[in-house]
Amino acid sequence: MTDKQEHTRNLVAALAKHSQKATYTAVAGVVGLPARTVMQSLLKDPQSEWVVAKPSHQPTGYSTNQLRPQLKSNSLVIVSATALATWWAKHPS
């Protein structure tokens, strides 16, 4: 596992722990990976569903029955890398 992949795992764990959505682009900007590849090393599981597409605010590639009700608990979606980095500094995993 690369440092960027480990960084991604840690960030996604923090998002899940605090029930916070962030866009693929925001996560990619924080961890230094292209947005299209940021989730490649992670499973489609309840922890990873907190990383969402900007237009829909939903994770990509999940069926409706895979999504947990907690995903609707926070309507705020962090869309910029700067805002996400600031949030993560205050909400470690």
41: helix, coil or strand? coil
C-alpha count within 13 angstroms, C-beta hemisphere, residue 70: 13
More confident residue, 84 or 35: 84
Rounded to two decimals, the pTM is 0.92
Domain count for the chain: 1
- Give the Cα separation of 76 and 91 in Å (integer): 15
Quote the strand ranges of the chain, DSSP E: 21-23, 51-52, 77-78
Residue 55, domain extent: 3-90
Q: Residue 80 has what DSSP assignment?
A: S
The stretch 12-36 carries a mean pLDDT of 95
- What is the per-residue pLDDT across 45-55, written as a single tens digit (0 to 9) for each? 888 999 999 99
Task: Please give the structure tokens belonging to residue 52.
Answer: 């969402």
Checking if the pLDDT of 1 tops 80, the result is no
